[in-house]
Amino acid sequence: MEDLSKTMQKLMSQQHLNDNYRQLMAKVYDDPEVNKFYQANKDELAEDVMTRSAAKLYEFVSEREKLAKGGETFATGYAPQLIVSNHLIDVAYVPTADTLEKQAQQQLRQRVKSIAMPKSIREATLANFDQDTDRAEALMAALDFVDAYEANPKRRHQALYLAGSFGVGKTYLLAAVANQLATDGFSTTLVHFPSFAVEMKNAIAQNGVAEKLDALKKSPVLMIDDIGADAMSAWVRDDVLGVILEYRMQEELPTFFSSNFSMAQLEKEHLRISTRGDDEPLKAQRLMQRIRFLAREITMVGVNRRPQ
């Protein structure tokens, strides 16, 4: 395009206005959009603007036509727009509706950070959550949370602890809440806890523990998926999970959980016994207190929805 402008300018400066050029420009000067723009901004424009800005006007009309035909424009994803610049007419490139939509989608995706979660969580929506009677309570509680949180994100909101057997849709519901919050402008981190625990152990060697821990501690909304699915070491329980929950409790940051265990089972069958086999009821109790402060238990029952 730069080249074209230069060529046009050269043509004009030579005052060598041959027939071809006149034909070309007649179309530009007849263009309804060009005329409308000229009329609307006449007061600000130089008297000889139509000749001095001829190259820009030509650029505008030809790029607009290329775009309308579905061709590649000078700036992909952007459409030409006339603007006033220094008493002359210039062309600015603004994102097309398509581009804006893509950018919005991208921003939305960035609001849901996921750690070791399946890609399919992107598709989960509250609207598509099947409302059989078994799961209505969980859906209602999720909708209530979204409403309350969005109305007042700085206040304390108790989140949900979704308990239920494999395949009832716990992860799906968490993801649907995260996606809804993202649509409305709020960020969430969803973490598959057993995988995260492994990542944390590996991070020790690379000195990356604090950084990884911080991301979870400080996420505006945190969802800890599948807690209790794998045996936890005392270190993961106390120095990872315990630290995250302590911080979130103090800062009153919403924290969801999902588990195949009920809260009572999680305490007695999971948190109490470390991988070394030590029985530590007090540590388990302290952790459960934090979990109970952060979330309320909802039991989800129903069929296994996983494709068999």
Residues binding ligand ADP (CB under 6 A): 120, 128-130, 164, 166-172, 305-306
DSSP three-state, residue 257: strand
Nearer to Mg ion among residue 13 and residue 128 (C-beta)? 128
Nearer to ligand ADP among residue 56 and residue 170 (C-beta)? 170
Output the smallest distance, CB 262 to ligand ADP, in A: 14
Output the smallest distance, CB 232 to Mg ion, in A: 17
Q: Quick one: what does residue 167 bind among ligand ADP, Mg ion, none, with the CB cut-off 5 to 8 Å set by partner type?
A: ligand ADP
- Angle subtended at Cα 284 by Cα 113 and Cα 267, rounded to the nearest 5 degrees: 80
Output the smallest distance, CB 236 to ligand ADP, in A: 21
Output the smallest distance, CB 193 to ligand ADP, in A: 12
- Rounded-to-integer distance, Cα 135 and Cα 301, Å: 7
CB of 231 within 8 A of CB of 241?
Answer: no
Q: Quick one: what does residue 129 bind among ligand ADP, Mg ion, none, with the CB cut-off 5 to 8 Å set by partner type?
A: ligand ADP
In this structure, the number of other CB atoms found within 10 A of the CB of residue 245 comes to: 24
Nearer to Mg ion among residue 27 and residue 305 (C-beta)? 305
Closest CA to 266 of 246, 247, 291: 291
Q: Quick one: what does residue 95 bind among ligand ADP, Mg ion, none, with the CB cut-off 5 to 8 Å set by partner type?
A: none
> What are the tokens at 284?
């388990």
Scanning residues 148 to 177, which ones bind Mg ion (CB under 5 A)? 171
Nearer to ligand ADP among residue 64 and residue 135 (C-beta)? 135
Q: Quick one: what does residue 132 bind among ligand ADP, Mg ion, none, with the CB cut-off 5 to 8 Å set by partner type?
A: none
Output the smallest distance, CB 259 to ligand ADP, in A: 9
- Pairing between strand 295-300 and 221-225? unpaired
Residue that the structure tokens 């209505």 belong to: 136
Q: What does DSSP assign to residue 241?
A: I
Output the smallest distance, CB 194 to ligand ADP, in A: 13
Nearer to ligand ADP among residue 79 and residue 298 (C-beta)? 298
Q: Quick one: what does residue 58 bind among Mg ion, ligand ADP, none, with the CB cut-off 5 to 8 Å set by partner type?
A: none
Nearer to ligand ADP among residue 6 and residue 109 (C-beta)? 109
Q: Quick one: what does residue 130 bind among ligand ADP, Mg ion, none, with the CB cut-off 5 to 8 Å set by partner type?
A: ligand ADP
DSSP three-state, residue 220: coil
With b for 16 or more beta-carbon neighbours within 10 A and e for fewer, the 264-293 pattern comes to eebbeebbbbbeeeeebeebbeebbebbee
In this structure, the number of other CB atoms found within 10 A of the CB of residue 60 comes to: 24
Output the smallest distance, CB 201 to ligand ADP, in A: 24
Helix ranges (DSSP H) in 111-208:
133-151, 170-183, 193-205
C-alpha dihedral over 188, 194, 196, 199, to 10 degrees?
-170
Q: Quick one: what does residue 295 bind among ligand ADP, Mg ion, none, with the CB cut-off 5 to 8 Å set by partner type?
A: none
CB of 54 within 8 A of CB of 12?
Answer: yes
* Position closest to ligand ADP via CB: 169
Where on the chain is the footprint of Mg ion (CB under 5 A)? 171
